Amino acid sequence: MLTVESLHKTFVTGEGKVGAVRGVSFEVGEGTFLTLLGPSGCGKTTTLRCVAGLEHPDSGKITIGKDVAYSGSEGVAVPAYRRGVGMVFQSYAIWPHMTVYDNVAFPLVHGGFKVPKSQVKEKVRKALSLVGLEKLENRPAPLLSGGQQQRVSLARALVYEPRLLLLDEPLSNLDAKLREEMRLELRELITRLKISTLYVTHDQEEALVLSDRIAVMSEGQILQEGQPRDIYLNPQHPFVASFIGAANFVDGKARGARDERGGVVVETALGQVVGSSSQDIKAGETVSVIFHPEDVLVRTDGDARGTNVFPGTVERLIFVGNRIQCRVRCGELQINSDVSSRVDVRQGTKVFIELPQENVRVLKLK
Amino acid sequence: MRARVADTVGTFFSGNMIAYVFAWFICGVIVAVTGLILWMTFVPGLPFDAGLSLSNYREVLGTSHLWRVVLNTFWVGSGTVFVSIFFGVPLGWLLNRTDLPLRSLFITMLAVTVIMPGLVKAMGWIMLLSPQVGIINKLLMELFRLKAAPFDINSIWGIAFIQGLMLTPSMFFLISGPMRSLDPSLEEAAEVVGANRWKTLFWITSPVLWPAILGGVIYIFMTGIAIFEVAGILGGLSENRVLATELFLAVQPFEGSLEIKYGVAGVYGFLIMLPSLVGLFFYFQSIKQAHRYAVITGKGYRPKTFALGRVQLPAMLFVFLFLLLAVFLPFLVLLWASLLPSLRMPSMEALSLVSLRWYEEIHYLVGGMEVIKNTLLLVVTSSVLVLFFSFMVSWVVVRTKLRTRRLLDTIAMLPHAIPGIGFAFALLIIGIMGARWTPWLPFYNTVWIIVVGNILTRMSYATRITNAALLQIQQELEDAALVCGARKWVAMLRVMGPLIRPSLVFAGLWTALLVFREVSVALLLGGPKNKVLATQLWILWRQGNLSEAAALSIVLILIMGLLILLLQKMTGSVGQVRVTPQIGEEKL
């Protein structure tokens, strides 16, 4: 549905040129939900605005459906009003001088999706009922709550049945509880409508819950693209690992050949760690060993024999209800671990931590 | 290079090119005219013989007369600054930072004093304080059996007094911003360490405000020495010569000497602008360091208000004193004079003479349909064009990422630093040259030359309003319309238009008001064929028809009052920050 090929965009600011987007390529399949995930300033919103036609890229190619919307080499640049996409803005951009009805009817009356007058009312009603606002159509826009504005914005983007929906951090202005509600509602609505969607967010949980695919961005580039599960469990880049979850990082040096089970042996401050890797790692290379807190097993008995078992002392415990966040000091390192609330550990207890080899990722330091 | 090409393509692409072209057009004119002002002072045979020399400077600087004029001008400027600080700074503090009752009403009234122009104010005060006819002078002489009049308004101090009253609101509004945005924690910190309220005011609040007050002083001084009309009717054309009146005399022969000396006038103009150029230098310096002064205020920010306590009554009286001197007294005396055949002391006999005779003859007083037509043309075209160009400049400055946008913004501020009389003089030269080389072009001695003068001088203020208006409206509101398939002009018409209309109406009407009451530029560029109401008032007074002039000034004040009412009705507030409805702003 949407193809973006080696997109580049540079901004000129007071401090000089800033490469906001540096060679971004991705594809959103028909009816697929793709999320651009990254910290603020990583170029995700700029990419989205380039797709909408609100920013003019320096080079690259954007294809929406079968139409080339932008191509630097062919000199094609379709203006925003002819791209036929729907967009929800971070600030919602509800026009304050109009009512809810006028806002939603705008694309059909004044925009590029004109329909006969008789159909306007029906289409607006239908769009408003999709988002559950059919009763508020005559309310002036400034009198809406944040969540209602969000829905109006969505209805306005959906009323002309666009082929592609663009969402720019639509949930970031809502409070935590409402955000979780809207997240599910949005996912359901989009699944029901089977509309291709490009979503931008800095919230990794939001991205994991909503998306079919996630592309993690940093400094204007896509570092890794894949299914949420894959991104979470098998990060290919230290940044992806750190951004997607509170992972443990231990730096070390790879020690020669893989062991009999295909694991990579790494010499770290913790000791000798064996992990798995999809990269081609050579002996002597500096690498990062990465594992999630929930994969760290904490034992109060036993000994330090066996692969990936290390002694330590419980330094801090935080009880969060369904689990305990436990920080274990192993020499100079601190390892974060999530353990079940039922495990009986106390501060200062000597423990052993065990890292299951298949859950430990070894990545080259870049 | 690649990026530059891409920038240009992007400009066309986003449809900002139109704004860019018009913005650079008006800023080009501002730069060209400013450059011309400087160049002219070196050309002896203006306007037709080229060639640079210092002979003009020699002619002007060689005379002992000049030093008296410069000294007079200096005292007028300093006196103006003194009076405007004397009233403006306490008013700024009282109305912004204390619990004085009726503060917002008083602030509105200060803004509304604009309906009484300096020329009218001066006329009123002459009727009160002139040694020959001044009502207050006569009263005091009778009361205390004095032989001579105690006050003489026809003096350097009289000029300074009236200009000071006239510019006090400017001083007030210049320091109101800093007064309001002053971080209250600075003051609280002093209180916490044991300073009492008055000590805090003296040691903390005042020093922090010094830069703002100093900026105000420079602005008032350079405005004060460039005002022509007040000095012009207070003896500036005879004994109390100042630079502004000298300039006028050098180019307007029917008032003074028979010989027109453009080069000499240019030197006077340059001397008037000298302090402005110094001020301009400081302005550019401060722009360079603007980021250092960026004030970030959070939500719900409120400056601390100072409880006046027992000083409240004297404070109220102080505010009333200013309004009395600046507005009510001159207005009342003008009203009185306009009802009488000639100015008299109030008495039973005088009361019996009261009639509306002058108002019945108002069509004669305004100088005929031609003057009314000219005035309407001037006010309407000036404000429409100022609005148009300001909007274009602001669009580029606020809404585009073009490299030259900062420069444009700075150029748009240039007229703020250069006296209107300077622009008027440069335009006069251009007009004369144009009359010689392009006589078919209606410019010299038409109302259009005054229109251009007013556009140039009003750009700075109008761009401040349009900048603020555009900044208030999120880019995404317009983007949303484009994504919905609306073309750029539809988005402008249906979304941007309704949202910025209140600010634009305000900027337009306010400009109309200021153009309507403007005298200096209109007089300098004036001739027999392009008289407007303001110049007509000047002419009536100069001809010695005091009562007629009083009647006409009352009419002018009423017209401006109506404009202010219209402004209030259409935009809701005068002298206050205008807020357009906006939602979703909490994310900022």
- Cβ-defined contact of B583 to A85 (cutoff 8 Å): no
- In this prediction the pTM is 0.76
CA distance B410 to chain A (A): 16
Taking the C-alpha atoms of residue A81 and residue A74, their distance in angstroms, rounded to an integer, is 20
ipTM of the predicted structure? 0.81
pLDDT of residue B296: 35
Task: Find the helix or strand (DSSP H, E) in which B437 lies.
Answer: helix B420-437
pLDDT, mean of residues A81-100: 89
Query: Which B residues, 8 through 27, put their C-beta within 8 Å of a C-beta on chain A?
Result: 9-10, 13-14
- Cβ-defined contact of B584 to A149 (cutoff 8 Å): yes
- Cβ-defined contact of A87 to B483 (cutoff 8 Å): yes
Environment class of A189 (CB within 10 Å of its CB; exposed 0-12, middle 13-18, buried 19+): middle
Contact indicator for B479, A89 with CB cutoff of 8 Å: yes
Q: Tokens 């062991």 identify what position?
A: A259
**Considering Cα of B492, then B403, then B453, then B560, what sign does the dihedral take?**
positive
Q: Could you say which of B477, B484, B587 has the minimum Cβ distance to residue A173?
A: B587
E-assigned strand segments in B179-243: none
DSSP A34-102: EEEE--TTSSHHHHHHHHHTSS--SEEEEEETTEEEEETTTTEE--GGGS-EEEE-TT----TTSBHHH
B579 to chain A, any CB pair closer than 8 A? The answer is no
Tens of pLDDT along B457-503? 888 888 888 887 887 788 888 889 999 888 888 888 888 888 888 88
- Cβ-defined contact of B486 to A96 (cutoff 8 Å): no
Taking the C-alpha atoms of residue B506 and residue B513, their distance in angstroms, rounded to an integer, is 11
Flag whether pLDDT at B316 surpasses 90: yes
pLDDT of residue B145: 85
A123 to chain B, any CB pair closer than 8 A? The answer is no
From B465, B432, B421, B97, select the one nearest B273 (Cα to Cα): B421
Instruction: Tell me which chain A residue has its CA closest to the CA of residue B488.
Output: A81
Taking the C-alpha atoms of residue B216 and residue A223, their distance in angstroms, rounded to an integer, is 55
Q: Could you say which of B2, B474, B494 has the minimum Cβ distance to residue A91?
A: B474
pLDDT of residue B105: 85
Taking the C-alpha atoms of residue B92 and residue B440, their distance in angstroms, rounded to an integer, is 51
Tens of pLDDT along B135-148? 888 888 888 888 88
pLDDT of residue A275: 87
Per the structure block, which two tokens stand in for B289?
Answer: 């360091």
Please, what's the largest Cα pairwise distance for chain A? 79
pLDDT of residue B85: 92
B2 to chain A, any CB pair closer than 8 A? The answer is yes
Q: Could you say which of A12, A52, A94 has the minimum Cβ distance to residue B483?
A: A52
CA distance A139 to chain B (A): 14
Flag whether pLDDT at B306 surpasses 60: yes
Q: Which CATH superfamily is domain B16-303+315-332+365-571 in?
A: MetI-like (1.10.3720.10)
Q: Could you say which of A80, A83, A149 has the minimum Cβ distance to residue B583?
A: A149
Q: Quickly count: other Cβ atoms within 10 Å of residue A283's Cβ.
A: 11
Q: Could you say which of A79, A90, A111 has the minimum Cβ distance to residue B484?
A: A111
Q: Could you say which of A49, A82, A96 has the minimum Cβ distance to residue B582?
A: A96
- Cβ-defined contact of B485 to A107 (cutoff 8 Å): yes
Mean pLDDT, chain B, whole residue set: 79
Query: Which A residues, 291 through 350, put their C-beta within 8 Å of a C-beta on chain B?
Result: none
Flag whether pLDDT at B507 surpasses 90: no
CA distance A97 to chain B (A): 7
Determine which of A59-73, A112-126, A280-294, B300-314 has the lowest per-residue pLDDT on average. B300-314
A143 to chain B, any CB pair closer than 8 A? The answer is no
Flag whether pLDDT at B181 surpasses 70: no
From A124, A127, A210, select the one nearest A167 (Cα to Cα): A210
Band (A24; pLDDT cuts 50, 70, 90): very high
pLDDT, mean of residues B205-225: 79
Q: Tokens 């402004």 identify what position?
A: B567
pLDDT of residue B284: 62
B482 to chain A, any CB pair closer than 8 A? The answer is yes
Flag whether pLDDT at A167 surpasses 90: yes
Task: Find the helix or strand (DSSP H, E) in which B37 lies.
Answer: helix B17-40
Contact indicator for A37, A202 with CB cutoff of 8 Å: yes
CA distance A58 to chain B (A): 6
CA distance A227 to chain B (A): 29
Environment class of B98 (CB within 10 Å of its CB; exposed 0-12, middle 13-18, buried 19+): middle
Instruction: Tell me which chain A residue has its CA closest to the CA of residue B6.
Output: A58
A84 to chain B, any CB pair closer than 8 A? The answer is yes
A144 to chain B, any CB pair closer than 8 A? The answer is yes
Taking the C-alpha atoms of residue A64 and residue A70, their distance in angstroms, rounded to an integer, is 9
Break chain B into its structural domains and give their ranges: 16-303+315-332+365-571
Tens of pLDDT along A174-215? 888 888 888 888 989 998 999 999 999 999 889 999 999 999
CA distance A85 to chain B (A): 7
For an interface test with B, the pick among A13, A54, A120 (most B C-beta atoms closer than 10 Å) comes out as A54
Q: Could you say which of B401, B476, B498 has the minimum Cβ distance to residue A97?
A: B498
Q: Which residues of B touch A94 (CB under 8 A)?
A: 583-584
Taking the C-alpha atoms of residue B41 and residue B56, their distance in angstroms, rounded to an integer, is 7
Contact indicator for A1, A28 with CB cutoff of 8 Å: yes
pLDDT of residue B10: 46
Domains and CATH numbers, chain A: 2-240 (3.40.50.300), 246-364 (2.40.50.100)
CA distance A80 to chain B (A): 6
Per the structure block, which two tokens stand in for B265?
Answer: 């006038």
Instruction: Tell me which chain B residue has its CA closest to the CA of residue A160.
Output: B484
Tens of pLDDT along B18-54? 888 889 999 999 888 888 876 766 665 555 555 555 6
Alpha carbon distance, N-terminus to C-terminus of chain B? 35
Band (B584; pLDDT cuts 50, 70, 90): very low
Contact indicator for B261, B411 with CB cutoff of 8 Å: no
B581 to chain A, any CB pair closer than 8 A? The answer is yes
pLDDT, mean of residues B62-88: 89
B542 to chain A, any CB pair closer than 8 A? The answer is no
Environment class of B322 (CB within 10 Å of its CB; exposed 0-12, middle 13-18, buried 19+): buried
Band (B301; pLDDT cuts 50, 70, 90): very low
- Cβ-defined contact of A86 to B483 (cutoff 8 Å): yes
Flag whether pLDDT at B292 surpasses 90: no
Instruction: Tell me which chain B residue has its CA closest to the CA of residue A10.
Output: B3
* Higher local confidence (pLDDT), B1 or B128: B128
Q: What is the dihedral of CA B388, B390, B391, B394, to 10 degrees?
A: 160
Q: Which residues of A touch B499 (CB under 8 A)?
A: 95-97
CA distance A82 to chain B (A): 6
pLDDT of residue B234: 86
Q: How far is CA B375 from CA B370, B372, B379, B433, B549, in A?
A: 9, 5, 6, 25, 17
Q: Could you say which of B10, B482, B581 has the minimum Cβ distance to residue A97?
A: B581
Tens of pLDDT along A306-342? 788 898 999 988 888 888 889 999 888 889 998 888 8
pLDDT, mean of residues B363-375: 84
Query: Which stretch, A57-66, B102-111, B434-443, has highest mean pLDDT?
Result: A57-66
Q: Which residues of B touch A91 (CB under 8 A)?
A: 474, 476, 584-585, 587
Mean pLDDT, chain A, whole residue set: 88
Number of A–B residue contacts, CB under 8 Å: 120
Taking the C-alpha atoms of residue B264 and residue B285, their distance in angstroms, rounded to an integer, is 31
- Cβ-defined contact of A84 to B485 (cutoff 8 Å): yes
- Cβ-Cβ contacts under 8 Å for B351 (sequence gap 6 or more): none
Contact indicator for B426, B36 with CB cutoff of 8 Å: yes
- Cβ-defined contact of B474 to A93 (cutoff 8 Å): yes
Taking the C-alpha atoms of residue B59 and residue B310, their distance in angstroms, rounded to an integer, is 60
- Cβ-defined contact of A96 to B490 (cutoff 8 Å): no
Contact indicator for B391, B23 with CB cutoff of 8 Å: no
Q: Which residues of A touch B7 (CB under 8 A)?
A: 12
A113 to chain B, any CB pair closer than 8 A? The answer is yes
Instruction: Tell me which chain B residue has its CA closest to the CA of residue A94.
Output: B477
Tens of pLDDT along B511-526? 888 898 888 888 888 8
Sheet holding A264-268, edge to edge: A271-275, A264-268, A248-254, A286-291, A361-364
